[in-house]
Amino acid sequence: EVQLVESGGGLVQPGRSLRLSCAASGFSFEDYAMHWVRQAPGKGLEWVSGISWNSVNLAYADSVKGRFTISRDNAKNSLDLQMNSLTAEDTAFYYCAKLRSKELSAAINYWGQGTLVTVSS
Amino acid sequence: DIQMTQSPSSLSASVGDRVTITCRASQGISNYLAWYQQKPGKVPKLLIYGASTLQSGVPSRFSGSGSGTDFTLTISSLQPEDVATYFCHKYNSAPPLFSFGPGTKVDI
């Protein structure tokens, strides 16, 4: 069974940093691209960042480019999102998501349960 | 940049009704389109990928069609468990990358 478990969310002050992690199990993690997708409470889905199976291709939404960094460790079956210079607009549930392919141009077929990031003073 | 729109933004239908949701891309995206269902308080679930391929385990009353700029998700006979918000998702590499439609809320 595919499992994606996010951690690292919480309350953080504007301008500070936070690092999210996603522990993957139940599939061959090194064979699939991964995304981070966020959803503000009561709002729609917003794609944040993606990483190919071998970390060669990285992609970021314009809203987070230059502030967020995605990375993965295939040996540890883990996906990370380093978030710097956080603002209130970054407040959302952050979902770790597995794609159907090694590369980024694929649909998401599994989602984690999400971790809530709240940016507030 | 490619804009993704959905219509309607919400709808109310009866059990057994045929329901159609439309997703439109401002530029062609071939068949790089998926549909997700998100029930209240739950995470999204993949229904359709490649515009028309049904994800394994998804009931056959769901179907997708379209290519290029215009796409449709159809529920052939609406069931109570289909109450949810439905999102389309483009995943070709043209900017903005991997964006989602705004969603369509389906009620009974």
Q: Which residues in chain B (81-100) have CB-CB distances under 8 A to chain A?
A: 87, 89, 91-93, 96-100
Strands A108-111 and B62-67: unpaired
Give φ, ψ of B67 to 5 degrees. -165, 150
Q: Name the residue type at position A39.
A: Q
| Distance between CA atoms of residues A37 and B34, nearest Å | 15
Q: Using CB atoms, pick whichever of B46, B92, B93 lies closest to residue A108.
A: B46
End-to-end CA distance of chain B: 35
Supply A60's token pair: 């970021």
User: Where does the pLDDT of residue A113 fall: very low under 50, low under 70, confident under 90, or very high at 90 and above?
Assistant: very high
- Calculate how close chain B gets to A99, using CA atoms only, in Å: 10
Q: Given this model, what pLDDT does residue B95 score?
A: 67
Nearest Cα of chain A lies from the Cα of B75 at a distance, in angstroms, of 20
B59 touches chain A (CB under 8 A): no
Amino acid A3: pLDDT: 97
Per residue in B30-89, pLDDT tens?
Answer: 999 999 999 999 999 999 999 999 999 999 999 999 999 999 999 999 999 999 999 999
Closest CA to A48 of B35, B96, B24, B32: B96
Inter-chain residue contact A107 with B49, CB threshold 8 Å: yes
Q: Band of the pLDDT at B2, cuts 50, 70, 90?
A: confident
Q: What is the pLDDT of residue B85?
A: 97
Q: State the smallest CA–CA distance between residue A15 and chain B in angstroms.
A: 26
Length of chain A: 121
Q: Which amino acid is at A40?
A: A
Burial group, residue A112, by CB count within 10 angstroms (0-12, 13-18, 19+): buried
pLDDT in tens, A20-77: 999 999 999 999 999 999 999 999 999 999 999 999 999 999 999 999 999 999 999 9
pLDDT digits (tens, 9 = 90+) for A89-109: 999 999 999 999 999 999 999
Beta bridge partners of B90: B33
Residues of B within 8 A of A112 (CB-CB) are 43
- Cβ–Cβ under 8 Å, residues B71 and B49: no
- Give me the pLDDT at residue A68, please: 98
pLDDT band at B3 (very low <50, low <70, confident <90, very high): confident
From the list B69, B5, B73, B61, the residue with the least C-alpha distance to B34 is B73
Distance, in Å, from the CA atom of A74 to the CA atom of B77, rounded to the nearest integer, reads 43
Mutation target among A2, A37, A46, A47 for the B interface, most CBs of B within 10 A: A47
Beta strands A115-119; A10-12: pairing state: parallel
Q: Quote the CA–CA distance of B96 and A6 in Å, as a whole number.
A: 25
